[in-house]
Amino acid sequence: MFGIMDLPSSVPGIEIRIFLAVAFTAVAAYFDVFKKKWVPNALVYGFAAAALLSNIVFFDWEASLLGFALFAVVFGIAYLLYKAGQLGGADVYALASISALLPVLPKPILVPDAPAAPYPFILSVIAPTGIFFIAHMLLRFVPFVASSIAKGKVHFNSTRLIGPILLTAAFCFFMFNLISLPVSISPVYLWLLSFLFVALLFFSLFREEIKDSMVEFVPASALQEEDVIALERMDHAVVKRLALQPLLSKKSIELLKKAGVKKVPVYTGMPFFLPHLLLGLLVAIAFGDILLYFIKL
């Protein structure tokens, strides 16, 4: 982990870097929402090119080298999540490009005297991004789950409850030890942790119903590269024989067609990510790392 003394204290061309990061992310978010998650390759490649070129045009040994390093590390981690079907291809490039454009943010726009985060700026972006994403997921799925319970479609048993019970016990143990620490912790921070715990508990308890609501059986002829398939809803023998992965490739589609599979369960209802990333980016640029406001060491 980077220490605060290891990070550059200034980043050349910061205004242009901020503009590029916000502009590219905003356009990508538009395509994500209004073009059914289809973000043009020219846009994501252009985003990456602008990010890397910025570190050449505004070259600074510390800032530029950190920008290049962060692009590689974040891209690598995000790519693994992409291959696992947890992120879209455009999400990978957006995260890596923001990391390279803004390796650090010396001064937030609206709160220039805000505490500096002792780690790269992308981590300050991910925190509010995650909060916005989780809040959206709750607003989307709580009514659906409540309706399913009312209709008697949800059944509770020991297998379903054991995970949430263990999660609750772990959270209580964590909170007890956190409150016992000899530091001053803002009540807002404790409320934030509680909100995240409730969300995690909800998703853990109703995971199967939420996943099923996002799945649609699509004809093999209509499959597209980068579709994410629900392997758990398919014949396990077929999955093993064809060596299928969550993320569909052109080869996988051809194998499915040759195997005579008529319909494939695809996660067509997966939530958007880029709009939440845009909101998280704007919050971090305007206010800095929001978590540092809540912890007073």
Tokens of 123: 């981590």
Give pTM, 2 decimals. Answer: 0.86
Angle at 247 between CA 206 and CA 76, to 5 degrees: 100
Angle of helix 89-101 versus helix 41-57 axis, rounded to 10: 10
The rounded distance, in Å, linking the Cα atoms of 166 and 171 is 9
Nearest to 48 by CA among 99, 122, 7: 99
Angle of helix 89-101 versus helix 14-34 axis, rounded to 10: 170
Nearest to 121 by CA among 295, 296, 288: 288
pLDDT tens, position by position, 159-204? 888 888 998 999 899 888 878 877 777 787 788 889 989 999 999 8
Nearest to 44 by CA among 101, 103, 79, 89: 89
pLDDT in tens, the chain (297 residues): 344 446 777 899 999 999 999 999 999 999 999 887 889 999 999 999 999 999 999 999 999 999 999 999 999 999 999 988 888 899 999 999 999 999 998 889 998 888 788 889 999 999 999 999 999 999 999 999 999 889 888 888 888 888 889 989 998 998 888 788 777 777 877 888 899 899 999 998 998 889 889 999 999 989 988 889 999 889 899 999 999 998 898 999 999 999 989 999 999 888 899 999 999 999 999 999 988 876 654
Nearest to 31 by CA among 275, 280, 283: 275
**pLDDT at site 6:** 65
The rounded distance, in Å, linking the Cα atoms of 7 and 21 is 20
pLDDT tens, position by position, 70-111? 999 999 999 999 988 888 899 999 999 999 999 998 889 998
For the chain, strand residue ranges (E) read 184-185, 215-219, 263-267, 295-296
The rounded distance, in Å, linking the Cα atoms of 181 and 179 is 6
**pLDDT at site 286:** 95
